[in-house]
Structure 1
Amino acid sequence: MTQEIPFTEGHDEGSHLPPGPEIAIVKDASKFFVLRKDKSVKDRVLHPGESKKHEDRFWALKGISLKFKAGTTVGLIGPNGSGKSTLLKMIGGIIQPDEGMVETRGRLAALLELGAGFHPDLTGRENVYLNASILGMSRAETDAKFESIVAFSGIAQFIDTQVKFYSSGMYVRLAFAVAVHVDPDILLVDEVLAVGDEAFQEKCLKKIQEFQAEGRTIIIVSHAMGHITSLCDRAVVLHKGTVAFDGDPTEAVQVMRTGLFIEGSEGVSVATRRDDVEEGDEPVIVSVVPRTEGKALTPGDDLTVDVELFVPHQVSQWDLTLSVNNSLGSTILITSAHAAGLKGAVLEGHQTVRFVLPSLSLTDGGYSLTTVLYDSFQRETSRSEGTAAFKARSGSESIGTVYSKVVGSLPPAK
């Protein structure tokens, strides 16, 4: 059962949600889908009541229990088919659990299948009102926000054109603009940050960051690990429809990339990390840690990154690259141990390679790090992608991949 409870400061009458900061609770929720096998027309006519003999149940989710605190941003990650989108739709009330229950407080907006409520034969204007009503906005609310919605979408000149003539980019822009103007308490996002051009993705990210600053609850499904580490306070790893890990986003991504999924009791999947590497294994990257002391990097600060390696046998021919990636996944800087003067250095056992990038001036936003370890033949032996992240804070004087303080003047006319 999925139930929406009006959001108030205290405990809602009739709600099973306990008093406190939880804005959504998933309790022992399971969902299955029926896989029907083909039957001949003859079988359907002669044995109409035996359809169940030709179907199997696939459990997309099994016994999921999660609590989401108000004002947090939570990432849902995992392999394809692990149940991420199914869980998001269940929280959004789009599908119902077959077992267990889901409860939420307040208004909810779901960016799951953008434009799912659009009708191709209606104009953009008509679809704004249609989609807004589906998302719970009144006519008066939509009237008040219409100009802002159109301005955000950037397609004002086509707003009275039937959407069946829109490009996919225009379609997505308008749908996103409507959804983010619902003024939600909970925002559900499923791979939306991977669609559209770079400018649109940047606009999406900025809007999500605005929601975070306003204290809204955001639940994100994404395969972009950089988004998970830079945007989220917490991440949940799903595997075969169960919760394999729930905790720090950086550790969750490490579990996702380097963890071992094993079958526990009653078929529940759990995740373990390789904290120890046995002799005879290839050299590996154990951890990547940006030394920012929990603070955002400001223009002119040094960025120190410690990369811990485990090298079973002594090597002197190796290289290690370090990439800094912005919130869109674009690489804005790349360096290497060779470039940093460590060519020929001997490694053995547990050892830390420290990179210091002095006087960085990055624009406001979240950044992730990618490291790749190479052997003497320049073959990749280990990779850590998006498992470490940090934030930068800068002024509004300049935009782009780097920040510069700008001073304007009016020189005397000649």
Structure 2
Amino acid sequence: MTNQPVVIDVQNVSKRFVIRKDKTLKERLLNPGRSRQNREDFWATRELSLQIEAGQTVGLIGPNGAGKSTLLKLIGGIIQPTTGRVLSRGRLAALLELGAGFHPDLTGRENVYLNAAILGLTREQTDEHFEDIVEFSGIREFIDTQVKFYSSGMYVRLAFAVAIHVDPDILLVDEVLAVGDEAFQKKCLDKIQSFQEEGRTIVLVSHSLGQVESLCTRVVVLGQGSVVFDGDPHEGVKLLRSGFETLDEAEEAKARLERERLRDAEVKRLSERVKIGEIRTSADAEGLDSGGNLTIEVDIDAREHLEAWDLGVTVTNSLQQMVTGTTAHRAGLKGIPVEGRQTLTFELPRLPLGAGEYTVSAAMFDDEYREIDRAESATSFSVHCDKASMGPLYTPARGEIAPSGDSETLRR
């Protein structure tokens, strides 16, 4: 947490919905006892607590049915919690459902004034912003048409335009932005980014995980109405993508990701301590004759004792095809610890390479074969041979010709 004031405080909030399995209202009236038996409580959130500070952009993500939209409605005051309470500070604008707050029989113009009034603006303040709202929405020619004739995209355009022009301290946005076209979505995202620069607080629900990673400063992952993760957007998205349905599965996924994070941190640490240095070959400036012996030397600098490791070298032709390669383990150097500056030498005898240019690369690995360091195309050499064969491998091909049926020649 930073030193910014808390503008949204969700305190042990649970929200219960009653699911009725009666087929008709008549059945409920005629059989009230059975009706009570056919009801089921569904808890959309369970003792959920969350604090959001001023200036944060928080993404609420999770599987379908996790409670994301319910939590957003609780924060916006659209619904009230069954237990617990939600506190907020500042003017709040919510864009939660398609057409929410619009009266279908009123025109777009009339709905702008109605929505603005609901959000706390006076008529005079709405007059000031009206032209900007219409301009942003891009539906000026339909502003005096009843909104019941609007398409879903027009609904979103007008609703979002109103929400962002009432000068909110907190903006709540549900998945409705997915309805707009690409150009309008970009305009909305640009506006959200300008809100971020102004230090406003944004809470959004989205299934577009790429947008969540790029926009949000914090991610809250929900599962079965509870917070299963609260923190870095990249880590939260990775947890959601790992796949979980129950809270136990979410905890297993978190533990697995934590182990991966620790392994990645260890690899990063080793990559700063163990480096591949110069790579040399025995091929001189004039190159190597095909079928000759090639020696590859790789300098390494291990600034700590490394017990388990491996290093691989590859030879690649001009078409970026690996033609041969080996590793320290394959070459008989397994189980030998390294520390300090050392040189690994690989002998590749009788290499039948075709004529051309070749490059040598090397990569260092830890005991779990995670890459520590890499030197790509660190050195090069050329290979010379006669024109007896072609391709990446050379063979001293020869040919004979004889009359058909000469079995003696065929046997040779």
With the length of structure 1 as denominator, give the TM-score of the two structures.
Answer: 0.61
Residue 125 of structure 1 is matched in structure 2 by: 109
Residue 57 of structure 1 is matched in structure 2 by: 41
Indicate which of 118, 125, 138 corresponds to 1:154: 138
Residue 177 of structure 1 is matched in structure 2 by: 161
Residue 86 of structure 1 is matched in structure 2 by: 70
1:228-307 to structure 2, matched below 5 A, reads 228-258=212-242, 263=247, 271-274=254-257
State the SS of the aligned residue for 1:71.
Answer: coil
8 Å contact from structure 2 (residues 60, 68) kept in 1: yes
1:340-359 to structure 2, matched below 5 A, reads 349-351=369-371
State the SS of the aligned residue for 1:273.
Answer: helix
What is the CA-CA distance between 1:276 and the residue it aligns to?
5.2
What is the CA-CA distance between 1:193 and the residue it aligns to?
3.2
Residue 66, structure 1, aligned to residue 66, structure 2: no
What is the CA-CA distance between 1:137 and the residue it aligns to?
1.7
1:313-392 to structure 2, matched below 5 A, reads 349-351=369-371
Indicate which of 81, 93, 96 corresponds to 1:109: 93
When structure 1 is superposed on structure 2, of 267-276 and 245-254 the one drifting more is: 267-276
Q: Distance in 1 between matches of 2:180 and 2:222?
A: 27
State the SS of the aligned residue for 2:230.
Answer: strand
State the SS of the aligned residue for 2:148.
Answer: helix
Residue 204 of structure 1 is matched in structure 2 by: 188
The total of aligned residue pairs comes to 285
Return closer, same or farther for 1:39/1:196 CA change in 2, 3 Å cut-off: closer
Return closer, same or farther for 1:270/1:167 CA change in 2, 3 Å cut-off: same
Structure 1 residue runs of 4 or more that deviate by more than 6 Å after TM superposition: 267-270, 342-348, 352-356
What value does the CA root-mean-square deviation take over the aligned residues?
Answer: 3.7
With the length of structure 2 as denominator, give the TM-score of the two structures.
Answer: 0.61
Return closer, same or farther for 1:37/1:187 CA change in 2, 3 Å cut-off: same
What is the CA-CA distance between 1:286 and the residue it aligns to?
7.4
Q: Distance in 2 between matches of 1:42 and 1:113?
A: 31
Return closer, same or farther for 1:116/1:352 CA change in 2, 3 Å cut-off: farther
Contiguous gaps of at least 5 residues in structure 1: 1-18, 278-284, 290-313, 317-339, 357-414
8 Å contact from structure 1 (residues 263, 270) kept in 2: no
8 Å contact from structure 1 (residues 261, 271) kept in 2: no
What is the letter of the counterpart of residue 236 of structure 1?
Answer: V
What is the CA-CA distance between 1:262 and the residue it aligns to?
5.6
Q: Distance in 2 between matches of 1:119 and 1:62?
A: 33
8 Å contact from structure 1 (residues 259, 272) kept in 2: no
8 Å contact from structure 1 (residues 255, 273) kept in 2: no
When structure 1 is superposed on structure 2, of 187-196 and 22-31 the one drifting more is: 187-196
State the SS of the aligned residue for 1:75.
Answer: strand
Q: Distance in 2 between matches of 1:43 and 1:122?
A: 37
8 Å contact from structure 1 (residues 234, 248) kept in 2: yes
What is the letter of the counterpart of residue 36 of structure 1?
Answer: R
What is the CA-CA distance between 1:168 and the residue it aligns to?
2.5
Q: Distance in 2 between matches of 1:131 and 1:224?
A: 27
Q: Distance in 2 between matches of 1:352 and 1:132?
A: 58
Q: Percent identity?
A: 61
State the SS of the aligned residue for 1:218.
Answer: strand
Q: Deviations over 1:287-332 (max 9, x none)?
A: 9x9xxxxxxxxxxxxxxxxxxxxxxxx999xxxxxxxxxxxxxxxx
Indicate which of 180, 188, 193 corresponds to 2:177: 193
State the SS of the aligned residue for 1:120.
Answer: coil
Return closer, same or farther for 1:258/1:48 CA change in 2, 3 Å cut-off: closer
Q: Deviations over 1:185-221 (max 9, x none)?
A: 1100111332211110000001101110111000011
What is the letter of the counterpart of residue 55 of structure 1?
Answer: R
Return closer, same or farther for 1:355/1:133 CA change in 2, 3 Å cut-off: farther
What is the letter of the counterpart of residue 18 of structure 2?
Answer: V
8 Å contact from structure 2 (residues 10, 87) kept in 1: yes
Q: Distance in 2 between matches of 1:151 and 1:355?
A: 55
State the SS of the aligned residue for 2:180.
Answer: coil
Bigger Rg, which one:
2
Q: Deviations over 1:59-81 (max 9, x none)?
A: 11101000000011011110011
8 Å contact from structure 2 (residues 222, 229) kept in 1: yes
Indicate which of 110, 121, 140 corresponds to 1:137: 121
Q: Deviations over 1:137-186 (max 9, x none)?
A: 22111111111111111121221122223232222211111111111111
Residue 163, structure 1, aligned to residue 183, structure 2: no
Return closer, same or farther for 1:134/1:343 CA change in 2, 3 Å cut-off: farther
Return closer, same or farther for 1:154/1:352 CA change in 2, 3 Å cut-off: farther
Q: Distance in 1 between matches of 2:119 and 2:17?
A: 26
Q: Distance in 2 between matches of 1:350 and 1:26?
A: 42
Residue 204 of structure 2 is matched in structure 1 by: 220
Report which of the two has the higher share of helix: 2
What is the letter of the counterpart of residue 97 of structure 2?
Answer: E
State the SS of the aligned residue for 2:73.
Answer: helix
